[in-house]
């Protein structure tokens, strides 16, 4: 019971006690309430504040509600066909004279407790990273068109971020393809190795620039990115489809890039974009972060390695 409801009940109880001692007319003048209002609550009052609570105003019936014959037809059909989907069940009911729409059928079945229940998604426990290079999420950000001076130019930012140290590596490319992804993988291995980190696993989405998992004709053929990862023994982990939050650190870093970099920069060529992106990357890895106890990723990496 909320605080507001309790206050209303206490107010009505004081009104009822005053009306009982001094009469309805005097209580009406003192509390500035009509006589009909006081008489209405007086018929409900039994001496307790609970009896003065507002009751539900939901109607007991509706002129267009399901008839008992329709409810019996729905129960019998569901009992005989417990595995039918909602649309197929509605179609079979229509063949037997049911005239309601599917939405009405779903509402009444939910009221009867016979509607389909979606399985509750239980996320897997998060795998805590214990050392640098254990897992490096990789993602691609499309450079906003408003930042590009040439309307025919397309630019893409490839991002790799070590989950343990938050050390990021960014690279600029003119296309989003498996060739660009394979080239980026080679560069990030070399870049992390220069800082004492050996990449053991890369985590990506399910785009065609990373995998042929959802391809109709090339499903069993490895992409250039997968071949480049398998050659040095790097494990390639795919996130759950249509679940970008599983690559949350890369997505979060893209949001910071949009706020700190793309909202205030323009690019005139691929070379110009790559040059400005390198400056932004150096600045970002020297920026203090709360998960690292207010150390910058580069300082945290040096301290750990």
C-alpha 236/C-alpha 265 separation (Å) is 34
> What pLDDT, on a 0 to 100 scale, did the predictor assign at position 119?
81
Structure tokens at 94: 């229509």
User: How confident is residue 2, by pLDDT bands cut at 50, 70 and 90?
Assistant: low
The pLDDT value given to residue 121: 78
Q: What percent of the chain has pLDDT over 90?
A: 76
Confidence grade of residue 3 (pLDDT, cut at 50, 70, 90)? low
Query: How many whole angstroms separate alpha carbon 30 and alpha carbon 3?
Result: 24
- What pLDDT score does 304 carry? 79
Both structure tokens of 286: 């020297």
Q: Beta strands 156-161 and 136-142: pairing type?
A: antiparallel
Pairing type for strands 156-161 and 235-238 reads unpaired
Between the alpha carbon of residue 37 and those of residues 24, 27, 48, 55, the distances in Å are 10, 11, 18, 15
Q: What 3-state DSSP class applies to 65?
A: coil
Confidence of residue 26 (pLDDT cuts 50, 70, 90): very high
Domain extents in the chain: 3-52, 68-112, 136-304
SS3 302: helix
* pLDDT tens profile 113-155: 887 777 887 877 888 899 999 999 999 999 999 999 998 999 9
Q: Single out the residue of 77, 285, 56 nearest to residue 161, CA to CA.
A: 285
Matching residue, tokens 């980190």: 197
pLDDT digits (tens, 9 = 90+) for 257-295: 999 999 999 999 999 999 999 999 999 999 999 989 999
pLDDT exceeds 60 at position 1: no
| Token duo for residue 236 | 């390639």
Q: Which 3 state secondary structure label does DSSP give 172? A: strand
User: 168-173 and 156-161 as β-strands: parallel, antiparallel, unpaired?
Assistant: antiparallel
Give residue-wise pLDDT tens across range 198-248. 999 999 999 999 999 998 888 889 999 999 999 999 999 999 998 888 999
Asked whether 116 and 86 are in contact (CB, 8 A), the reply is yes
**Strands ordered across the beta sheet of 201-204:** 168-173, 156-161, 136-142, 201-204, 235-238
d(CA 234, CA 185): 10
d(CA 233, CA 226): 10
Mean pLDDT, rounded, of the chain: 92
Calculate mean pLDDT across residues 192-202.
Answer: 94
Identify the CA nearest to 199 among candidates 246, 298, 132, 130.
132
Whole-angstrom distance, CA of residue 176 vs CA of residue 207: 10
How many other C-beta atoms lie within 10 A of the C-beta of residue 167? 23
**Of 67, 80, 75, the residue nearest 115 (C-alpha):** 75
* Cα–Cα distance measured from residue 137 to residue 163, given in angstroms and rounded to the nearest whole number: 7
Give the residue carrying structure tokens 């426990």: 125
- pLDDT for 71-85, tens place per residue? 999 999 999 998 888
Which residues are CB-contacts of 11 (< 8 A; sequence separation ≥ 6)?
none
CA 135 to CA 235: how far, in whole Å?
A: 9
* Distance, CA of 27 to CA of 118 (rounded, Å): 55
The domain made up of 136-304 has a fold known as Nucleotidyltransferase; domain 5 (3.30.420)
């Amino acid at each position: 019971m909320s605080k507001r409801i309790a206050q209303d009940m206490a107010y009505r109880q004081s009104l009822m006690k005053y009306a009982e001692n001094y009469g309805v007319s005097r209580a009406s003048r003192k509390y500035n309430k009509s006589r009909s209002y006081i008489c209405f609550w007086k018929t409900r009052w039994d001496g307790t504040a609970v009896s003065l609570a507002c009751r539900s105003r939901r109607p007991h019936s509706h002129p267009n509600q399901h008839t008992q014959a329709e409810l019996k037809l729905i129960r019998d059909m569901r009992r005989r066909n417990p595995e039918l989907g909602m649309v197929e069940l509605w179609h079979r009911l229509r063949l037997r004279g049911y005239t309601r729409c599917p939405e009405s059928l779903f509402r009444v079945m939910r009221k009867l407790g016979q509607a389909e229940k979606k399985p509750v998604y239980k996320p897997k426990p998060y795998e805590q990273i214990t050392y640098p290079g254990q897992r490096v999420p990789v993602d691609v950000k499309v450079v906003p068109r408003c930042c590009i001076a040439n309307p025919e130019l397309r630019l893409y930012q490839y991002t790799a971020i070590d989950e343990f140290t938050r050390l990021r590596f960014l690279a600029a490319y003119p296309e989003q393809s498996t060739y660009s992804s394979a080239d980026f993988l080679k560069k990030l291995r070399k870049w992390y190795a220069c800082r004492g980190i050996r990449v053991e696993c890369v985590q990506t989405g399910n785009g065609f620039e990373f995998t042929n998992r959802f391809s109709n004709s090339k499903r069993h053929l490895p992409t250039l990115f997968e071949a480049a990862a398998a050659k040095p023994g790097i494990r390639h982990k795919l996130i759950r489809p249509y679940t970008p939050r599983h690559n949350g650190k890369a997505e979060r870093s893209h949001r910071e890039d949009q706020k700190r970099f793309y909202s205030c920069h323009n690019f005139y060529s691929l070379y110009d974009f790559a040059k400005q992106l390198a400056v932004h990357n150096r600045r970002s890895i020297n920026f203090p972060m709360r998960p690292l106890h207010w150390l910058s990723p580069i300082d945290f990496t040096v301290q750990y390695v």
